[in-house]
């Protein structure tokens, strides 16, 4: 506790203070701090000087030490939380189960079924007064009680099954919402921040930050709380998420010391005292304002949304999503979708491609609309035929008069016909589709966590399956990011291994030790290993840790130098950024002279060196010719071995001269004296070459985009297998790449990019802009028939735009900055390239799972609709009753989507090329399976329907009167139908014509349990369902026949597999994506148009199709909530910066989000009704 001495004053009276927790304990109140944080720049400075003297005055009043931080005493922390609040914004309440039940009940088809059931129920209790009932047609009179008993059961059973469907739907939604909230909070809990407590630098979860904490801020951080700067080096902040201004704001003690939560650190580093957290921070205040208006505000927004969907759709969508999923936001404010820059174009881009790029959703919407229309048509025809047949038969053929007392009975007939029609529609509309997508994605996301992929946007998981190109960083992704200095050029001598300390002159050693110690960020350090015998732990920047490690190898301690020159004594720091590719620190000596130490990419720093330390440690002249010699004899050989080369240099400014103009960096960091050039090794991860081979086999091109020297990059690319000897591929440097893709005016031309990218494998010394240009160029290219789907990895703040532009952005979980994570779709928690390969596998698996489900569902759809339709037309009654249809619907929608959407992926998925954006969902092989199995099932069902009574020697169930008891005949038809579906579910596990449909079946416990569970429930329904399910008990022999005919589908499946698909030219594919996506100039606009087209289709009066739409809304609410990062992005960006639109803003238009945007879809429905 000795190091707490200077803090004792600040903590005098802490004990008494705990007893009386009021604002008086601190010299400043919560309200005062809140009002202070609302001021900016000079206003804030005046206020601080006026009320507190300076920032140290604030620290004193908050009883904290600027250097030592808080003590970390639990009682003190508790008291501060009580007075100033916790760093936590309370989430919006999730929807309750009852609310979800109510939402499920809004389903139009279900409402129609309920009304029909209630009418049927009411009429069944109505007894016509006297009269001869035989005049009213073929009603089964029987005994009075039996009739009334029989009448109400069907209506009640329909109501009961509606309740079941509603409960299952609500439970699905509830569990998904719960799952996504869990996932969201996992993302948030992972965010930690560096603070100083008790003189120790520690990382704590963002939620644990309290007022009075001294927080260390650095390049790439997302600020978790409001604070005032205590000390800063070259600090620049992007405040666009709060102000809409995209220009970076310089922060310094004498200009603008106010740091606000939710803003991004784009450059530099520093320390701040936390002055407001949680709901009292600037982000929290805005969040509270948004939340306070609650529902009214949302309604207003919906009205606006109707009027100006084009402008406001995205914001509205994100707010809605936020309301859906306000999972405990551990103060991860403003998850800016725009990543690094809050430009208007980025906002639009952040929303539009997210909608445009989920290939699967687009295809499914189209397919679902088509199926829904077909189902609606069939059900309408069914009802019309039934009604006409009955009317003609009763009043024309039998010439019966319409008697008043018979009206209820006729109405009962019409209600029965109506129920049959609705049931045909229920079976035809594939509401299971969105459910299957969501279950499949949710399941994949959960499992991908185990494979070190933290998915932030659900659709990224599926898009990854279509990836054709991966642009990967080198450091940390392909390599281990365990840097060590292995070679050095010191005092004109090239050491192939680290020299002994005695070999280096004392003077050179002094420069080396001081230069490395002070000119590496003080947050970079080497800690002892966690386990005995382990490697020392590198904390902070890995390259800097390698240099600090060099000092330890030379038996010197960098910490002694840092203790002597603490960070606040550094006169000026030019922090590292991707433009400078170097870092420099200025020290002021006691005699008034200055010394600057610089380190950075060797060829860049060497160009600024005019002297070099000779063999005896004295500076000597360093000419351009000497520089070329060093490049040839030292730097290139090091780089060709895959080493990263760093040059260390210094410069002195004598005391007598006037003080230099420090802001003019180019004049300061020049005329340097070279101390040494070191070669740093970063070994390739052992598993990467194999992973890259898998990618190449799967039709995915891997490109390396790195800031390193081209020779180093080429050497690493060869080791990884990105380049193979003898292949004709390009390796370019950033400047060479820029020269080739720009015309005389310096503008980027797509045709020029198209000449380069297909062969480009390595882009070295690249800037983040080059990365963005390359990604955009590949995505917009029309060289190949298929549009490329590009995945990108990034860790730096400036990778934000490229991550955003890519179809799937991967951020590094360990080395990645918060800004990169914000811009990404998936976070790699282990920074490892092999995890990307796993993501590809899962993505392809999602696509295949949906196809399996479609193959199964469409077979059932076709058969059930044809059976109901034909049966109704020929026998005036559907062979499958309403309740049975609802049960079949439950099997094939909810349960099948669970069973087929949870198949685990296999390595074989990586043996085929990507499907591409335009591959139809239903291939010709699948169409062959669907039609083939439908044919078998229809033959079986119709044989049983029209000849079953003869085969089994039982009474016919055809032409039964209105309230006839269930017949064995129709029960056998129903039972056989369900058995065929169960066995066909096993067939549906394979969609590429494989013969062994049982392969790996026991790896999927969910599948096995659902098939067995359905079988058991079917036995119960048939044997004990009785009148409600229109079932009659079956004998063992009849059961065995049903199972035998069901198993026939497996044998029939083998027969279908033998027919080569290539022979069946007449088969059409279905479920194509948008056709016009190939034209990049129009691509985004076309996609919006396509969505509008879908909206128009939905508006053409197919009201019953809204059953599917409503399901889609409920499923996609959750998806949207997850996609948008579920925090308060949208609402805070009301004032976008127009000044800073650049790059590809020209062809962006904001989407209308029709089919899959929950909010807009519901407003559409509202306006139509």
Residues acting as catalytic residues:
473
Collapsing DSSP to helix, strand or coil, 922 comes out as strand
Strands 582-588 and 572-574, how do they pair? antiparallel
Collapsing DSSP to helix, strand or coil, 181 comes out as helix
Give dist(CA 654, CA 656) in Å, integer: 6
Collapsing DSSP to helix, strand or coil, 658 comes out as coil
213 contacts: CB under 8 Å, gap ≥ 6: 64, 69, 70, 195, 196, 197, 225, 273, 274
Tell me how far apart the 2 most distant CA atoms of the chain are, in Å: 127
Collapsing DSSP to helix, strand or coil, 539 comes out as strand
Give dist(CA 904, CA 909) in Å, integer: 11
Structure tokens, 909: 């998925």
Of the candidates 66, 42, 505, which has an alpha carbon nearest to the alpha carbon of residue 253?
42
Question: To 5 degrees, how large is the angle CA 748–CA 751–CA 753?
Answer: 60
Give dist(CA 74, CA 55) in Å, integer: 25
Strands (E), 41-95: none
Of the candidates 451, 471, 472, 474, which has an alpha carbon nearest to the alpha carbon of residue 683?
474
Strands 730-733 and 760-764, how do they pair? parallel
731 contacts: CB under 8 Å, gap ≥ 6: 710, 713, 714, 717, 723, 761, 762, 763, 764
The residues with which 587 forms a beta bridge, in sequence order, are: 595
Contact status, residue 62 vs residue 71, Cβ threshold 8 Å: no
Alpha helices in 1059-1143 (DSSP H): 1080-1099, 1106-1123
Contact status, residue 493 vs residue 481, Cβ threshold 8 Å: no
Structure tokens, 582: 């170097």
Annotate 380-410 with DSSP letters as a single string: HHHHHHHHHHHHIIIIIIS-----GGGHHHH
Question: To 5 degrees, how large is the angle CA 67–CA 73–CA 77?
Answer: 90
Annotate 228-264 with DSSP letters as a single string: EEEEEEEEEEE-HHHH---SPEEEBTTTB-EE-TT-E
Give, rounded to a whole angstrom, the gap between the first and last alpha carbons of the chain: 72
Contact status, residue 126 vs residue 155, Cβ threshold 8 Å: no
Alpha carbon of residue 1 to chain centroid: 46
200 contacts: CB under 8 Å, gap ≥ 6: none
Of the candidates 162, 111, 12, 1, which has an alpha carbon nearest to the alpha carbon of residue 882?
162
Give dist(CA 272, CA 614) in Å, integer: 43
Collapsing DSSP to helix, strand or coil, 976 comes out as helix
Exposed / middle / buried, residue 1075 (Cβ in 10 Å: 0-12, 13-18, 19+)? exposed
Structure tokens, 726: 């003898």
Question: What sign does the dihedral 686-691-696-701 (CA atoms) show?
Answer: negative
Of the candidates 595, 571, 582, 613, which has an alpha carbon nearest to the alpha carbon of residue 514?
595
168 contacts: CB under 8 Å, gap ≥ 6: 890, 894
Give dist(CA 1093, CA 1112) in Å, integer: 17
Collapsing DSSP to helix, strand or coil, 890 comes out as helix
Which residue do the tokens 């549009």 mark? 787
């Amino acid at each position: 506790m000795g190091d707490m001495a200077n803090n004792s004053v600040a903590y005098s009276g802490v004990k008494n203070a705990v007893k009386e927790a009021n604002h008086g304990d601190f010299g400043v109140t919560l309200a005062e701090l809140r009002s202070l944080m609302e001021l900016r720049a000079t206003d804030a400075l005046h206020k601080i000087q006026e009320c507190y003297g300076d920032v140290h005055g604030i620290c004193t009043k908050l009883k904290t030490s600027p250097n030592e931080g808080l003590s970390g005493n639990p009682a003190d922390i508790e008291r501060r939380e009580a007075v100033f609040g916790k760093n936590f914004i309370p989430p919006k309440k999730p929807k309750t189960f009852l609310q979800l039940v109510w939402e499920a009940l809004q389903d139009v088809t279900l409402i129609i079924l309920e009304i029909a059931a209630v009418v049927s129920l009411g009429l069944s209790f109505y007894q016509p007064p006297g009269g001869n009932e035989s005049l009213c047609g073929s009603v089964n009179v029987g005994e009075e009680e039996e009739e009334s008993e029989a009448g109400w059961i069907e209506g009640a059973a329909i109501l009961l099954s509606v309740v079941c469907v509603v409960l299952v739907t609500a439970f699905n939604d509830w569990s998904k919402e719960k799952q996504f909230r869990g996932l969201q909070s996992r993302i948030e809990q992972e965010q930690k921040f560096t603070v100083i407590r008790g003189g120790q630098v520690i990382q704590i979860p963002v939620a644990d930050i309290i007022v009075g904490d001294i927080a260390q801020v650095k390049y790439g951080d997302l600020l978790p709380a409001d604070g005032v700067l205590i000390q800063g080096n070259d600090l620049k902040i992007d405040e666009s998420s709060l102000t809409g201004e995209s220009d970076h704001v310089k922060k310094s003690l004498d200009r603008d010391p106010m740091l606000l939560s939710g803003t991004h650190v784009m450059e530099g580093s520093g320390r701040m005292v936390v002055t407001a957290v949680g709901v009292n921070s600037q982000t929290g205040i805005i969040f509270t304002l948004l939340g306070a208006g609650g529902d009214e505000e949302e309604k207003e927004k919906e009205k606006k949304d109707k009027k100006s969907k084009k402008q406001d759709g995205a914001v509205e969508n994100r707010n809605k999503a936020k309301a859906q999923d306000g999972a405990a936001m551990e103060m991860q404010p403003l998850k800016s979708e725009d990543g690094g820059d809050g430009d208007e174009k980025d906002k639009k881009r952040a929303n539009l491609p997210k909608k445009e790029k989920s290939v699967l959703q687009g295809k499914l919407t189209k397919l679902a609309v088509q199926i829904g229309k077909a189902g609606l048509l069939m059900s309408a025809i069914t009802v019309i035929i039934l009604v006409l047949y009955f009317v003609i038969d009763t009043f024309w053929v039998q010439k019966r008069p319409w008697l008043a007392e018979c009206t209820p009975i006729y109405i009962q007939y019409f209600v029965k016909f109506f129920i049959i029609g609705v049931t045909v529609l229920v079976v035809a509309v594939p509401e299971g589709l969105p459910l299957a997508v969501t279950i499949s994605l949710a399941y994949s996301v959960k499992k991908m966590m185990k494979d070190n992929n933290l998915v932030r946007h659900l659709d990224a998981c599926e898009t990854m399956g279509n990836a054709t190109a991966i642009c990967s960083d080198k450091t940390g992704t392909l390599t281990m990011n365990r840097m060590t200095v292995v070679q050095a050029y010191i005092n004109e001598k090239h050491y192939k291994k680290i020299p002994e300390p005695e070999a280096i002159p004392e003077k050179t050693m002094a420069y080396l030790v001081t230069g490395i110690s002070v000119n590496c960020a003080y947050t970079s350090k080497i800690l002892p290993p966690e386990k005995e015998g382990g490697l020392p732990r590198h904390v902070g920047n890995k390259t800097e840790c390698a240099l600090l490690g060099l000092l330890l190898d030379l038996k010197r301690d960098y910490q002694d130098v840092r203790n002597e020159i603490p960070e606040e004594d550094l006169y000026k720091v030019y922090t590292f950024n991707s433009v400078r590719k170097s870092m420099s620190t200025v020290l002021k000596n006691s005699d008034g002279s200055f010394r600057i130490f610089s380190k950075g990419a060797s060829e860049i720093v060497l160009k600024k060196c005019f002297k070099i330390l000779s063999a005896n440690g004295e500076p000597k002249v360093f000419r351009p010719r000497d520089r070329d010699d060093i490049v040839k004899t030292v730097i290139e050989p090091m780089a060709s071995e895959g080493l990263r080369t760093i040059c260390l240099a210094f410069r002195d400014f004598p005391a007598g001269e006037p003080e230099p103009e420090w802001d003019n960096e180019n004049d300061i960091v020049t005329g340097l004296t070279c101390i040494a050039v070191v070669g740093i090794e970063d070994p390739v991860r052992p598993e990467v070459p194999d992973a890259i081979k898998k990618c190449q086999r799967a039709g995915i091109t891997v490109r390396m985009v790195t800031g390193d020297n081209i020779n180093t990059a080429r050497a690493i690319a060869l080791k990884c297998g990105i380049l193979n000897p003898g292949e004709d591929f390009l390796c370019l440097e950033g400047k060479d790449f820029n020269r080739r893709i720009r015309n005389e005016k310096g503008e980027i031309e797509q045709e020029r990019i198209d000449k380069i990218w297909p062969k480009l494998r390595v882009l070295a010394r690249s800037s983040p802009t080059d990365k963005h240009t390359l990604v955009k160029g590949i995505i917009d290219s029309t060289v190949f028939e298929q549009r490329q789907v590009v995945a990108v990895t990034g860790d730096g703040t400036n990778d934000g735009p490229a991550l955003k532009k890519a179809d799937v952005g991967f951020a590094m979980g360990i080395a990645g900055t918060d800004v990169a994570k914000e811009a990404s779709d998936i976070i790699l928690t282990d920074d490892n390239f092999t995890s990307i390969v796993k993501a590809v596998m899962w993505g392809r698996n999602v696509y295949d799972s949906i196809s399996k489900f479609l193959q199964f569902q469409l077979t059932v759809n076709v058969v059930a609709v044809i059976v109901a339709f034909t049966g109704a037309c020929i026998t005036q009654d559907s062979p499958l009753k309403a309740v049975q249809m609802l049960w079949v619907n439950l099997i094939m929608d909810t349960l099948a989507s669970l069973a087929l959407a949870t198949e685990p992926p296999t390595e074989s998925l990586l043996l085929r090329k990507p499907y591409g954006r335009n591959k139809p969902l239903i291939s010709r092989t699948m169409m062959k399976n669907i039609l083939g199995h439908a044919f078998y099932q229809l033959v079986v069902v119709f044989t049983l329907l029209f000849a079953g009574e003869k085969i089994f020697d039982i009474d016919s169930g055809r032409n039964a009167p209105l309230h006839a008891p269930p017949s064995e005949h129709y029960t056998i038809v129903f039972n056989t139908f369900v058995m065929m579906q169960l066995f066909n579910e096993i067939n549906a596990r394979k969609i590429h014509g494989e013969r062994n449909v049982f392969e790996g079946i026991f790896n999927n416990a969910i599948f096995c349990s659902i098939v067995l569970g359905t079988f058991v429930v079917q036995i119960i329904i048939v044997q004990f369902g009785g009148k409600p399910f229109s079932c009659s008990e079956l004998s063992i022999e009849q059961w065995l026949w049903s199972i035998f005919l069901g198993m026939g589908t497996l044998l029939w499946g083998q027969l279908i597999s033998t027919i080569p698909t290539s022979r069946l030219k007449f088969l059409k594919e279905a479920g194509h994506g948008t056709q016009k996506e190939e034209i990049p100039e129009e691509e985004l606009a076309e996609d919006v148009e396509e969505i509008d087209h879908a909206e128009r289709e939905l508006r053409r009066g197919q009201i019953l199709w809204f059953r599917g739409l409503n399901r889609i809304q409920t499923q996609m609410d959750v998806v949207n909530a997850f996609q948008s990062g579920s925090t308060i992005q949208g609402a805070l960006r009301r004032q976008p910066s127009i000044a800073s639109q650049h790059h590809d803003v020209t062809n962006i238009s904001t989407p209308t989000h029709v089919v899959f945007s929950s909010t807009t879809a519901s407003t559409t429905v509202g306006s139509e009704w």
